[in-house]
Amino acid sequence: MIILDHNTGLITLHTRRTTYQMKADQHGVLLHTYYGSRIRGDLSRLIPYADRGFSPNPDEAAGDRTYSLDVLPQEYSGSGNGDYRLSSLALELPDGSCGADFRYTDCIIIHDKYELDGLPAFFGISDEAETLVITLEDTVAQVSVQLLYGVFEAYDLITRAVRVVNHGDRTIRILQAASLCLDLPSADLDLITFDGRHTYERVPHRAPLRPGVQSVGSLRGISSHQHNPFVVLCAPDAGEDHALCYGAMLLYSGNFQAAVERNQFDTARLTLGIHPDGFTWNLAPGETFCTPEAALICSPDGFGPMSRNFHRAIRDCLIRDPWAGRPKPVLVNSWETTYFDFDDSKLLALAKESAALGVELFVLDDGWFGHRNDDRGGLGDWWTNESKLPGGLAPFSRKLRELGMSLGLWIEPECVSEDSALYAAHPDWVLNPPGRPYVRGRDQLVLDFTRKEVRDAVFGMLRKTLDGVDLAYLKWDMNRCLTAPWSAALPPERQGEVSHRYVLGVYELLERFRKTWPNVLIEGCAGGGGRFDAGMLYYTPQIWCSDNTDAIDRLTIQYGTSFAYPPCTMGAHVASVPSCHTDRWASLAVRGTVAMSGAFGYELDLGALSPEEKAEVAQQVAEYKAVQDLIRNGDYYRLSRPDGPYTAWANVSRNQREALVSLVAGPAVAAPPFLFLKLQGLDPKLQYRINDEPELWPGDILMQAGYPLPLLREHTAIRLHLTAE
Ligand code: DGJ
């Protein structure tokens, strides 16, 4: 609910459990007065005013030394105006001066959620979401900003984006435009970031805010394996089910920065948006620049409710039809079985074995096109390699149908090998500054997706190749980062736009794919989880969570990922042992348990398994199909951290009548202690049957006292299926 009080100037956004409040003060500065548990009243009374040395006073203060933008909590901070904290917006004007100093002009409420042209955004209609637009103006720069707020009451979700409009008659340059600025009155907070590397992504790191700026971000052109565009600020004592926390997410798949400043008076400011390093945007008279969308969820009761609200919002209001809430096929992916070494008979043999065990989708990974026999060549030549697949993809897809399977295909549209026909014809289509030697990643270059003709060419090849093919799934991969992006199609003063235009180009082509093949499930991937962000989820309802298929490592990766993203979005496969990533062995039961907590599939030679193992796989597939609605649409509870005696989690149905509890034991210890697993999310008054145990368990006992675990042996799995009676 959005409440505008025209008498007091108070602007209040209420969600189910939280309140967000702003107020334009006597000088038109839009103050941020409160964000936290739901309350009523004018919170501007809490804002302290004092004469602070070396915090300057704007002209309007008329000598009032207690009024300084350096001290006041602001909704969208400027720059060069006496506020030395993190800027949200920085402009370079035609006279070379830099700054941004905005004052409130008006605000309006719009039914339904706003949309952003060419950018991903949460969606919702009037009974789910409403929009607030606040306009601020910098009269010197002749620029206005529209602060957009989407209020999704049921999810405690507040989305934000900013439109910058040039009303002057000369081009100005945007040097920075954050999507979100959040001033909080106390910096006694911890910052949690989700960091890692290729094959070990999104591991939570938590530390108290120290004085100064601390930030994470990406300058790699993709959101990156190294840092995720999602951070949490929380009370020092916050845990899964207690104390205040704020989650902030950017719906963006390129360079980003999340920065938090603990300033001189121990207040905190968070900014989140496109990374300002290397970014500039030329805004001609009359033009508008729109930032990517950011999303905030405040939870008064810890991380669990925050995550569950993000999960629900992503599932209901970000993932689009036809995949919202729809079952996804159990798949087998060829990559770790064949790599580049396959032909149709090898693939069909794998498909036949897989189909017999209940697997529904066969994903043909890298190597089916051009002369791609290793990762050094062929990328960009999107026609079928008929020496591997005689007659092309159409007969192959028909043969799969005869086995009762559908076809999925791997593609990597954004990159090109120098050893390819595409590169030979268009060497100027790669992103690289003139005269600079190439910097290669996986021996490949990045295509200039800022250019429509480049996207059109890639799209045209794929459309021709896929014509007449019975296709159910595409895996859109991206296996390197951008370096020194420079586009031959843009003038020198626009080169600072390339990284953002690249992301817009990726989104445009993804959207075209969605429209051309509306029933094809697209799985995102960037060497696993190098672009696992909410921006991609708008186009690709699931993302390959990590190239690391080791089940034990996946416990940590999926745990970290779950803080922001729902299990149904995490591609997760049972792979062979010992793991090709860690050389570690894990039982089929453990691998199945871990993979079942995501978008489930296999990535191993199922034909090479023993009869007992095949029976276990068939059992896993059947079990997954039986519980997948729970995993997809239920609520997710982290029951432990991944570094204790066990890692445990639960998927609980919305009506609390069914739950799947999964646990994988940690490293062995001698004489292990007796352990009781305290469940969450059940109805305390209901009685639950666990698997086929004769005895019923009251929900309150399971949650308050716990379920007695057997003595745990290293890396063994337990799955408990609870049904209320
Ligand atoms: C990286 C992906 O993450 C893998 O799953 C696989 O698709 C390879 N690329 C293929 O080149």
Pick the CATH number of 2-317 from 1.10.150.170, 2.70.98.60, 1.10.10.10, 3.30.379.10: 2.70.98.60
532 C-alpha to center of ligand 1: Å? 14
- Choosing from 293, 448, 533, 658, which is the catalytic residue? 533
Q: Quick check: 165 and 144 in contact, CB under 8 A?
A: yes
Domain boundaries, the chain: 2-317, 331-413+454-479+521-633, 646-724
Q: Is the pLDDT of residue 479 over 90?
A: yes
Q: Quick check: 149 and 179 in contact, CB under 8 A?
A: no
195 C-alpha to center of ligand 1: Å? 20
pLDDT at 367: 98
Q: Quick check: 442 and 376 in contact, CB under 8 A?
A: no
Measured CA to CA, the distance from residue 132 to residue 112 in angstroms comes to: 10
Q: How sure is the predictor about 6, in pLDDT bands with cuts at 50, 70 and 90? A: confident
Please confirm, yes or no, whether 613 is among the known catalytic residues: yes
Q: Is the pLDDT of residue 529 over 90?
A: yes
Average pLDDT over residues 627-643: 96
- Render pLDDT for 55-85 as a digit per residue (tens, 0 to 9): 999 999 999 999 999 999 999 999 999 999 9
Closest residue by Cα to residue 470 from 402, 548, 369, 381: 402
Average pLDDT over residues 81-93: 98
Q: What's the per-residue H, E or C state across 284-323? A: CCCCEEECCCEEEEEECECHHHHHHHHHHHHHHHCCCCCC
- Looking from the CA of residue 475, the nearest atom of ligand 1 is 7
Two domains, one topology: 2-317 and 646-724: no
Evaluate: CB of 476 within 6 angstroms of ligand 1. no
Q: How sure is the predictor about 538, in pLDDT bands with cuts at 50, 70 and 90? A: very high
- Joined together, the tokens standing for residue 271 give 């900014």
Cβ count near 54 (within 10 Å): 8
- Buried/exposed code over 685-718 (b: 16+ C-beta within 10 A; e: otherwise): ebebebeeeeeebbbeebbeeebebeebeebbbb
Backbone φ and ψ of 702, nearest 5°: -60, -30
| Among 4-8, 107-111, 469-473, 477-481, the least confident range | 4-8
Q: How sure is the predictor about 315, in pLDDT bands with cuts at 50, 70 and 90? A: very high
Cβ count near 109 (within 10 Å): 15
The 3-state DSSP class for residue 98 equals strand
Domain boundaries 331-413+454-479+521-633, corresponding CATH code:
3.20.20.70
- Render pLDDT for 253-280 as a digit per residue (tens, 0 to 9): 999 999 999 999 999 999 999 999 999 9
- Render pLDDT for 8-18 as a digit per residue (tens, 0 to 9): 889 999 999 99
Between helices 611-633 and 344-356, what is the axis angle to 10°?
A: 70
Evaluate: CB of 365 within 6 angstroms of ligand 1. yes
Closest residue by Cα to residue 707 from 598, 588, 689: 689
Residue from 477, 545, 603 to probe ligand 1 pocket by mutation (most atoms less than 8 Å from CB): 477
Mean pLDDT of the chain: 97
Query: What ranges in 467-550 are assigned the alpha helix state H?
Result: 498-516, 534-537
Task: Quote the radius of gyration of the chain (alpha carbons, Å).
Answer: 26
pLDDT at 326: 87
Angstrom distances, CA of residue 526 to CA of 16, 147, 253: 36, 32, 11
CA angle 268, 274, 277 (to 5 degrees): 90
The helix (H) or strand (E) run that includes residue 172 is strand 172-184
- Joined together, the tokens standing for residue 173 give 């340059």
pLDDT at 7: 85
Q: Is the pLDDT of residue 126 over 80?
A: no
Measured CA to CA, the distance from residue 201 to residue 554 in angstroms comes to: 9
Measured CA to CA, the distance from residue 408 to residue 648 in angstroms comes to: 32
- Looking from the CA of residue 528, the nearest atom of ligand 1 is 3
pLDDT at 177: 98
pLDDT at 570: 98
pLDDT at 323: 87
Q: How sure is the predictor about 310, in pLDDT bands with cuts at 50, 70 and 90? A: very high
Closest residue by Cα to residue 160 from 128, 192, 134, 198: 134
- Choosing from 188, 343, 613, 700, which is the catalytic residue? 613
Q: Is the pLDDT of residue 325 over 90?
A: no
pLDDT at 346: 97
Cis amide linkage into residue 322, ω under 30° from 0 = yes
Cis amide linkage into residue 292, ω under 30° from 0 = no
Q: Quick check: 664 and 646 in contact, CB under 8 A?
A: yes
Residue from 200, 372, 410, 550 to probe ligand 1 pocket by mutation (most atoms less than 8 Å from CB): 410
Average pLDDT over residues 655-659: 98
Evaluate: CB of 336 within 6 angstroms of ligand 1. no
Q: Quick check: 269 and 182 in contact, CB under 8 A?
A: yes
Measured CA to CA, the distance from residue 703 to residue 636 in angstroms comes to: 15
CA angle 490, 495, 498 (to 5 degrees): 90
Average pLDDT over residues 391-406: 97
Evaluate: CB of 532 within 6 angstroms of ligand 1. no
Residue from 338, 366, 369 to probe ligand 1 pocket by mutation (most atoms less than 8 Å from CB): 366
* Percentage of the chain lying above the pLDDT 90 cut: 98
pLDDT at 127: 83
pLDDT at 148: 98
pLDDT at 243: 98
Q: Quick check: 592 and 574 in contact, CB under 8 A?
A: yes
pTM recorded for the entire structure: 0.98
- Render pLDDT for 662-693 as a digit per residue (tens, 0 to 9): 999 999 999 999 999 999 999 999 999 999 99
pLDDT at 347: 97
Residue bearing tokens 């209001």: 317
Residue bearing tokens 């991937």: 525
Output 698-705 pairs: Cβ under 8 A, ≥24 positions apart: 699/656, 699/724, 702/678, 703/678, 703/679, 704/678, 705/676, 705/678
Which residue's CA is the closest to the ligand 1 atom numbered 11? 366
> Is the domain defined by 646-724 classed in CATH 2.60.40.1180?
yes
Cβ count near 38 (within 10 Å): 14
- Rounded to the nearest 10 degrees, how much is the dihedral formed by the CA atoms of 319, 322, 323, 325? 90
Q: Mind giving me the DSSP string for 651-681?
A: EE-TTSSEEEEEEEE-S--SSPPP-EE---S
